[in-house]
Amino acid sequence: MFFHLHREKRFSDEKTRFYVIEMILAIEFLHKNKMLYRDLKPENIMVDASGHIKLTDFGLSKMVKKHKDKAYTICGTPQYLAPEILSDEGYDGSVDWWSLGCVMYEMLVGKPAFRIPKGTYLCADLYKKKINVPEYVTPEAKDLITQLLVPNPKKRLGYGTDGAKKIKDHPYFEGINWEDAWNRKLKPPFVPNLKGETDLTYFDKMFTNEKIEGSKVSEVPSSIDGSEYKGFTFITNSVSMELAEMKNNEDNNDNNHNQFTVNDLIG
Protein backbone atom coordinates (compact mmCIF):
# COMPACT_ATOMS: atom_id res chain seq x y z
CA MET A 1 0.00 0.00 0.00
CA PHE A 2 2.85 2.36 0.83
CA PHE A 3 4.27 1.92 -2.68
CA HIS A 4 0.96 2.78 -4.37
CA LEU A 5 0.21 5.70 -2.07
CA HIS A 6 3.68 7.12 -2.59
CA ARG A 7 3.29 6.83 -6.37
CA GLU A 8 -0.25 8.26 -6.58
CA LYS A 9 0.23 10.88 -3.80
CA ARG A 10 -3.35 10.37 -2.61
CA PHE A 11 -6.30 8.09 -3.35
CA SER A 12 -9.79 8.89 -4.57
CA ASP A 13 -12.69 8.66 -2.13
CA GLU A 14 -13.93 5.48 -3.83
CA LYS A 15 -10.54 3.78 -3.68
CA THR A 16 -10.03 4.81 -0.06
CA ARG A 17 -13.47 3.50 0.94
CA PHE A 18 -12.71 0.06 -0.51
CA TYR A 19 -9.46 -0.28 1.40
CA VAL A 20 -10.93 1.10 4.64
CA ILE A 21 -13.78 -1.43 4.40
CA GLU A 22 -11.34 -4.30 4.17
CA MET A 23 -9.18 -2.89 6.96
CA ILE A 24 -12.24 -2.71 9.21
CA LEU A 25 -13.04 -6.36 8.52
CA ALA A 26 -9.44 -7.38 9.20
CA ILE A 27 -9.27 -5.48 12.50
CA GLU A 28 -12.70 -6.75 13.53
CA PHE A 29 -11.51 -10.32 12.93
CA LEU A 30 -8.39 -9.80 15.03
CA HIS A 31 -10.36 -8.22 17.86
CA LYS A 32 -12.89 -11.06 17.85
CA ASN A 33 -9.96 -13.40 18.26
CA LYS A 34 -8.66 -11.30 21.18
CA MET A 35 -5.72 -9.77 19.39
CA LEU A 36 -4.59 -6.14 19.41
CA TYR A 37 -2.80 -5.37 16.14
CA ARG A 38 -1.06 -2.15 17.28
CA ASP A 39 0.82 -1.34 14.07
CA LEU A 40 -1.63 -0.42 11.32
CA LYS A 41 0.13 1.71 8.71
CA PRO A 42 0.49 1.75 4.90
CA GLU A 43 3.74 -0.23 5.05
CA ASN A 44 1.92 -3.14 6.72
CA ILE A 45 -1.00 -3.26 4.29
CA MET A 46 -0.34 -5.45 1.26
CA VAL A 47 -2.37 -5.64 -1.96
CA ASP A 48 -2.64 -9.23 -3.16
CA ALA A 49 -2.78 -10.51 -6.73
CA SER A 50 -6.57 -10.13 -6.85
CA GLY A 51 -6.55 -6.53 -5.58
CA HIS A 52 -7.70 -7.25 -2.02
CA ILE A 53 -5.64 -6.34 1.02
CA LYS A 54 -3.79 -8.38 3.60
CA LEU A 55 -2.29 -7.20 6.88
CA THR A 56 1.30 -8.20 7.57
CA ASP A 57 3.89 -7.88 10.35
CA PHE A 58 2.34 -9.02 13.60
CA GLY A 59 5.52 -8.39 15.56
CA LEU A 60 3.83 -5.81 17.79
CA SER A 61 0.51 -7.62 18.10
CA LYS A 62 -0.68 -8.84 21.48
CA MET A 63 -3.10 -11.56 22.51
CA VAL A 64 -5.39 -10.78 25.46
CA LYS A 65 -7.41 -13.21 27.57
CA LYS A 66 -10.56 -11.09 27.57
CA HIS A 67 -11.81 -8.36 25.26
CA LYS A 68 -11.80 -5.85 28.12
CA ASP A 69 -8.21 -6.65 29.12
CA LYS A 70 -5.68 -3.87 28.67
CA ALA A 71 -2.12 -3.72 27.38
CA TYR A 72 0.53 -1.39 28.75
CA THR A 73 3.53 -1.71 26.45
CA ILE A 74 4.48 1.49 24.63
CA CYS A 75 4.92 0.40 21.02
CA GLY A 76 3.90 1.31 17.49
CA THR A 77 4.83 3.83 14.82
CA PRO A 78 4.69 7.48 16.04
CA GLN A 79 2.56 8.84 13.16
CA TYR A 80 -0.14 6.23 13.80
CA LEU A 81 0.17 5.88 17.57
CA ALA A 82 -2.96 6.34 19.69
CA PRO A 83 -2.35 8.83 22.54
CA GLU A 84 -3.48 6.44 25.28
CA ILE A 85 -0.57 4.14 24.46
CA LEU A 86 1.68 6.79 25.98
CA SER A 87 -0.27 6.88 29.23
CA ASP A 88 0.11 4.70 32.29
CA GLU A 89 -3.55 3.73 32.30
CA GLY A 90 -3.35 0.98 29.68
CA TYR A 91 -5.29 0.64 26.44
CA ASP A 92 -7.47 -1.77 24.46
CA GLY A 93 -8.40 -2.44 20.83
CA SER A 94 -9.51 1.17 20.36
CA VAL A 95 -5.90 1.97 19.46
CA ASP A 96 -6.40 0.13 16.16
CA TRP A 97 -9.39 2.31 15.26
CA TRP A 98 -7.29 5.42 15.91
CA SER A 99 -4.64 4.05 13.53
CA LEU A 100 -7.38 3.38 10.98
CA GLY A 101 -8.32 7.07 11.14
CA CYS A 102 -4.69 8.03 10.58
CA VAL A 103 -4.32 5.73 7.57
CA MET A 104 -7.63 6.88 6.09
CA TYR A 105 -6.57 10.53 6.43
CA GLU A 106 -3.25 9.80 4.72
CA MET A 107 -4.97 7.99 1.86
CA LEU A 108 -7.31 10.89 1.16
CA VAL A 109 -4.97 13.80 1.89
CA GLY A 110 -1.60 12.41 0.85
CA LYS A 111 0.25 13.17 4.06
CA PRO A 112 0.11 11.96 7.68
CA ALA A 113 -2.46 13.46 10.02
CA PHE A 114 0.30 13.84 12.61
CA ARG A 115 3.84 14.69 11.63
CA ILE A 116 6.29 13.63 14.31
CA PRO A 117 9.86 14.79 13.56
CA LYS A 118 12.67 12.45 14.50
CA GLY A 119 13.94 13.05 18.00
CA THR A 120 10.63 14.48 19.19
CA TYR A 121 9.73 13.56 22.75
CA LEU A 122 6.51 11.57 22.46
CA CYS A 123 3.64 12.61 24.68
CA ALA A 124 -0.14 12.33 24.42
CA ASP A 125 -0.54 16.08 23.87
CA LEU A 126 1.07 15.74 20.41
CA TYR A 127 -2.04 13.91 19.23
CA LYS A 128 -4.65 16.19 20.77
CA LYS A 129 -4.32 19.03 18.30
CA LYS A 130 -7.16 19.62 15.84
CA ILE A 131 -6.38 18.09 12.47
CA ASN A 132 -6.96 20.04 9.27
CA VAL A 133 -9.08 18.15 6.76
CA PRO A 134 -9.04 19.73 3.25
CA GLU A 135 -12.33 20.85 1.69
CA TYR A 136 -12.09 18.30 -1.14
CA VAL A 137 -12.62 15.50 1.38
CA THR A 138 -16.32 14.58 1.46
CA PRO A 139 -18.32 15.51 4.59
CA GLU A 140 -18.97 11.83 5.36
CA ALA A 141 -15.28 10.94 5.11
CA LYS A 142 -14.30 13.95 7.21
CA ASP A 143 -16.81 13.04 9.90
CA LEU A 144 -15.57 9.44 10.04
CA ILE A 145 -11.94 10.52 10.34
CA THR A 146 -12.84 13.04 13.04
CA GLN A 147 -14.70 10.43 15.08
CA LEU A 148 -11.88 7.91 14.76
CA LEU A 149 -9.27 10.45 15.87
CA VAL A 150 -10.91 11.39 19.17
CA PRO A 151 -8.12 11.40 21.81
CA ASN A 152 -10.38 9.96 24.51
CA PRO A 153 -10.71 6.25 23.59
CA LYS A 154 -14.05 5.91 25.40
CA LYS A 155 -15.52 8.62 23.15
CA ARG A 156 -13.83 7.35 20.00
CA LEU A 157 -15.91 5.66 17.34
CA GLY A 158 -15.17 1.96 17.62
CA TYR A 159 -14.91 1.80 21.40
CA GLY A 160 -16.41 -1.26 23.06
CA THR A 161 -17.06 -4.86 22.08
CA ASP A 162 -19.45 -3.75 19.31
CA GLY A 163 -17.07 -1.08 18.06
CA ALA A 164 -16.70 -2.47 14.54
CA LYS A 165 -20.47 -2.46 14.05
CA LYS A 166 -20.66 1.20 15.08
CA ILE A 167 -18.07 2.05 12.44
CA LYS A 168 -19.85 -0.02 9.79
CA ASP A 169 -23.07 1.89 10.49
CA HIS A 170 -21.42 5.24 9.72
CA PRO A 171 -22.95 7.13 6.73
CA TYR A 172 -19.62 6.89 4.89
CA PHE A 173 -20.46 3.23 4.22
CA GLU A 174 -24.09 3.74 3.21
CA GLY A 175 -25.18 1.08 0.74
CA ILE A 176 -22.26 -1.26 1.47
CA ASN A 177 -23.10 -4.95 1.67
CA TRP A 178 -20.76 -6.08 4.42
CA GLU A 179 -21.39 -9.76 3.77
CA ASP A 180 -20.23 -9.29 0.19
CA ALA A 181 -17.23 -7.36 1.50
CA TRP A 182 -16.33 -10.22 3.85
CA ASN A 183 -16.59 -12.71 0.98
CA ARG A 184 -14.33 -10.49 -1.17
CA LYS A 185 -17.09 -9.84 -3.68
CA LEU A 186 -16.59 -6.08 -3.83
CA LYS A 187 -14.71 -5.02 -6.96
CA PRO A 188 -11.17 -3.85 -6.14
CA PRO A 189 -10.27 -0.41 -7.52
CA PHE A 190 -6.89 -1.75 -8.59
CA VAL A 191 -5.71 -5.22 -9.63
CA PRO A 192 -1.94 -5.69 -10.08
CA ASN A 193 -0.84 -6.60 -13.59
CA LEU A 194 1.48 -9.48 -12.81
CA LYS A 195 3.46 -11.69 -15.18
CA GLY A 196 3.70 -14.48 -12.64
CA GLU A 197 4.06 -15.38 -8.99
CA THR A 198 7.64 -14.09 -8.85
CA ASP A 199 6.90 -10.73 -10.54
CA LEU A 200 8.49 -7.97 -8.41
CA THR A 201 7.19 -5.01 -10.43
CA TYR A 202 5.41 -3.46 -7.45
CA PHE A 203 8.32 -3.85 -5.04
CA ASP A 204 10.62 -0.87 -4.57
CA LYS A 205 13.97 -1.45 -6.29
CA MET A 206 15.66 -0.20 -3.14
CA PHE A 207 14.78 -3.58 -1.65
CA THR A 208 14.99 -5.85 -4.70
CA ASN A 209 18.50 -4.56 -5.52
CA GLU A 210 19.82 -5.29 -2.05
CA LYS A 211 22.66 -7.77 -1.83
CA ILE A 212 21.61 -11.09 -0.33
CA GLU A 213 23.76 -12.03 2.62
CA GLY A 214 23.36 -15.00 4.90
CA SER A 215 23.12 -14.63 8.66
CA LYS A 216 26.31 -15.75 10.34
CA VAL A 217 26.20 -17.53 13.69
CA SER A 218 29.36 -17.01 15.70
CA GLU A 219 28.50 -19.35 18.54
CA VAL A 220 26.39 -22.48 18.78
CA PRO A 221 24.41 -22.86 22.03
CA SER A 222 25.84 -25.57 24.26
CA SER A 223 22.37 -26.95 24.94
CA ILE A 224 19.70 -27.86 22.42
CA ASP A 225 16.92 -28.71 24.82
CA GLY A 226 15.14 -25.42 24.21
CA SER A 227 16.05 -23.91 27.59
CA GLU A 228 17.56 -20.87 25.85
CA TYR A 229 14.09 -20.02 24.60
CA LYS A 230 12.22 -20.41 27.88
CA GLY A 231 9.45 -17.81 28.04
CA PHE A 232 9.09 -17.44 24.28
CA THR A 233 5.48 -17.75 23.13
CA PHE A 234 6.38 -19.91 20.14
CA ILE A 235 9.32 -21.88 18.84
CA THR A 236 9.14 -24.04 15.74
CA ASN A 237 10.35 -27.62 15.94
CA SER A 238 12.76 -26.93 13.12
CA VAL A 239 14.80 -24.64 15.37
CA SER A 240 15.78 -27.51 17.64
CA MET A 241 16.57 -29.65 14.60
CA GLU A 242 18.75 -26.92 13.10
CA LEU A 243 20.59 -26.38 16.36
CA ALA A 244 21.20 -30.12 16.68
CA GLU A 245 22.56 -30.25 13.13
CA MET A 246 24.80 -27.25 13.77
CA LYS A 247 26.11 -28.86 16.95
CA ASN A 248 26.81 -32.15 15.18
CA ASN A 249 28.61 -30.39 12.36
CA GLU A 250 30.72 -28.48 14.84
CA ASP A 251 31.63 -31.68 16.68
CA ASN A 252 32.53 -33.41 13.41
CA ASN A 253 34.70 -30.49 12.39
CA ASP A 254 36.50 -30.63 15.74
CA ASN A 255 37.11 -34.38 15.36
CA ASN A 256 38.33 -34.06 11.79
CA HIS A 257 40.35 -30.88 12.05
CA ASN A 258 43.58 -32.67 11.04
CA GLN A 259 42.07 -34.28 7.95
CA PHE A 260 41.91 -31.13 5.78
CA THR A 261 44.12 -31.07 2.69
CA VAL A 262 45.58 -28.10 0.85
CA ASN A 263 42.72 -28.42 -1.65
CA ASP A 264 40.21 -28.11 1.19
CA LEU A 265 41.82 -24.88 2.32
CA ILE A 266 42.15 -23.25 -1.08
CA GLY A 267 39.21 -24.83 -2.88
CATH number of 2-208: 1.10.510.10
Q: Is the pLDDT of residue 246 over 70?
A: no
Lowest mean pLDDT among 2-11, 57-66, 194-203, 243-252: 243-252
Question: Which residues, other chains included, contact 141 with Cβ-Cβ below 8 Å and sequence gap of 6+?
Answer: 13, 16, 17, 104, 108, 172
pLDDT of residue 266: 33
Q: How many residues does this entry show for the chain?
A: 267
Q: Is the pLDDT of residue 62 over 50?
A: yes
- Map out the domains of the chain as residue ranges: 2-208, 227-266
Helix, strand, coil fractions of the chain, as percent rounded to 5: 45, 5, 50
Looking at residue 79, its amino acid is Q
pLDDT of residue 126: 78
Q: Is the pLDDT of residue 194 over 70?
A: yes
Catalytic residue among 13, 39, 96, 125: 39
Higher pLDDT, 122 or 70: 70
Full-model pTM: 0.76
Residue 39 a catalytic site member: yes
Q: Is the pLDDT of residue 25 over 90?
A: yes
Longest dimension (CA), the chain: 79
pLDDT in tens, 152-174: 999 999 999 899 999 999 999 99
Q: Is the pLDDT of residue 228 over 70?
A: no
